[in-house]
Amino acid sequence: MTRPVLIDGRYEVEAELGRGAMGVVYRARDIELGRAVALKLIAPEYARSSRVAAYLQREARALATIRSHHVVQVYASGPHKDSYFFAMEFIRGRSLDTIINEHKAHGTFVPIYRALTILRQIARGLAAVHAAGIVHRDIKPANIVIEENTGRPVLVDFGLAVPADARVAAAGTPAVMAPEQGRLLQGSIVTIRTDIYSLGCTAYKLLTGRLPFESKTIPDLLRAHMTEEAKPVSSLRPDLAPFDPVFARALAKNPDERYASAEELTLALDQAEAQWIPPDLSSAPFSTGAFSQPGPGLRVLVVDDDDMFRAFAARAVKLAFQDVPVRVLAAGSGIEALTSALHNPPNLVLLDFDMPGLDGIHTLSRLRVLPGGLEARILVVSARAEEQERWRFSVLGVHDFLAKPVQLQDLVDTVARIARRSGFTSANELPPSSQMA
C-alpha cells in the first residue's frame, strides 16, 4: 500500500488541483487541525535558486500578514526537499471566468448588481494586498474563485506577485497585462496601478462578457494594450453608459492617469452605479455598514409572495428546530426581504424565485452585500426555478432547491439537513406527514 505524501510533517496530499509554469497545486489535509488546505509546491528548477528562495520567504511573510475575507489566506510555508511549499486556505467553488462564460453561453450577463458586488469585494481584498506592499500582477477572472454556499469572491494565485515599485521581467496573462508590463525592457516599474489596469480588464469582462482587447497572437494583444483604446462598455451594452468614464480611466495607457488605488476605483464604480440604478429598484435598501443588533437565537427569513406558503414554511422551520430558539421572519417581496435582512441578518433564507418586482435572483444578489449576507445559507423553494435559473443562483452560492408543491416532511428534512451541514444547530426531523403546500 502506497504511503501518503506528507509535507512539513502535517499536510497530507490528497489530489492534484492544477499545475502551471511555477509549480503544482494540490488539495491536502492538515492532519493536526483536521481541515482541507490548498498546497502549492514550487517547481524545483525555481526553488533551487537561492535568490528565488529568499524571494519566496519574503513573499510568504508578506502574504501571511494580509487579513481580508476576499484574499486567500496563507497558513504556512517553507522548504520541502528540493522544492518550496505554501499551505493556503482551500476555497471550494468555481472561478469567475467559468461563471462569466456560462452566462455568455446562455446568452445573458451576470446580474449587474451581483457583478458590482463582486468587484467591490475583490477591490477591497486587493487594497489589503497593496497595503502589505505587494502587487499581484495577474488579476483576472480565472484567479477569482466564487465560494460555494456563500458566493464569497476570493482572490487567489499569488505566483507572480512582487513587491510594489519593483523592476522585474515581464510576466502575467497577456489578455489583462498593463501596457507598462509590455514595456519592461524600456525600464518600466510595476506599481499598484498595474493591478488597477488588470482589475479594469476583469471588470470589463464581468460586465460585458468580453475582454477589452482580443487577438489571435500574443504580440498583437500586447500591442493593443499599449497603443489602442478599448471600446466603451456602452458600445457592447448601451445601459452601461454611466460606466464609460470609469473604464476610460482604469484602462488608461499612462499609469499616472489611472485610479491611484483600489478604493478610488470602487468609489468611481459606486458613483456610476448611482446613475445607473433603474428607478423601480431605487427603494431597495443599501448597507451603510450599520445595522440593528439581531436578537438571540437562529434567524430564518421566509421570502415568498404567497401568504399561505409563508405560513406553511414558517411552520416547517419551527418543526425543524423544536429544541432550538428560532425567530422566523416573513417577507412578501424582495424589497421587504432586504429591509428585514438589513435589520435582522438571517442565518437561513427560504427564497422564492418568481416574485413581482425583484425576483429571487436579484433579491439575493442585493442581500449578499448586506451585513451578514455572505454567511446566510439559502434554500430556493419555487415552482419555476428551472435549470436556467438554477445556474444563475449558483453564482450566488446556492445549491439547495425544492420544487413546489412540496411535502411538509420534505421541507422540514431539507431545512434540518442544511442546518446540520452549516453547523447552526442539531435540528430535529419530523415524523412522516402527507401535508403539502
Domain range summary for the chain, segments of one domain joined by +: 7-89, 93-279, 298-422
In one letter, which amino acid is 403? Answer: A
CATH code for residues 93-279:
1.10.510.10
Burial class (CB in 10 A: 0-12, 13-18, 19+), 308: exposed
In sequence order, which residues have a C-beta less than 8 Å from that of residue 140 and are 6 or more positions away?
A: 97, 173, 175, 176, 198, 201, 202
Using the Cα atoms of residue 176, residue 180, residue 182 and residue 188 in order, give the sign of their dihedral.
negative
**Residue (of 413, 384, 401, 399) closest to 316 by Cα position:** 413
Which residues lie closer than 8 Å to 30 by C-beta, 6 or more apart?
A: 10, 11, 36, 37, 75, 87
Which one of 8, 30, 82, 138 is the catalytic residue?
Answer: 138
What Å distances lie between residue 206 and 103, 121, 187, CA to CA?
10, 14, 32
Topology, domain 298-422: Rossmann fold (3.40.50)
d(CA 70, CA 158): 13
CATH of 7-89, one of 3.40.50.300, 1.10.1040.10, 3.30.200.20, 3.40.50.620: 3.30.200.20
The CA distances from residue 135 to 52, 111, 160, 261, in Å, are 17, 29, 9, 12
- Are 146 and 99 a contacting pair, CB within 8 Å? yes
Spatial distance between the Cα atoms of 298 and 432, rounded to a whole number of angstroms: 24
Active site residue 82: no
Walk along the chain (437 residues) and give the pLDDT tens digit of each residue: 467 788 888 999 999 988 776 778 899 999 999 999 999 888 777 766 777 777 777 777 778 888 899 999 989 888 888 888 889 999 999 999 999 998 888 888 888 888 998 999 999 999 999 999 888 989 999 999 999 878 899 999 887 777 776 666 667 788 898 998 877 545 567 899 999 999 999 999 999 999 999 887 888 888 899 899 999 999 999 889 999 999 999 999 999 999 999 999 999 998 898 787 553 444 444 443 433 444 457 899 999 999 999 999 999 999 998 878 899 999 999 999 999 998 899 999 999 998 988 889 889 988 887 888 888 999 999 988 777 778 778 878 888 999 999 999 999 999 999 988 887 754 444 334 334 45
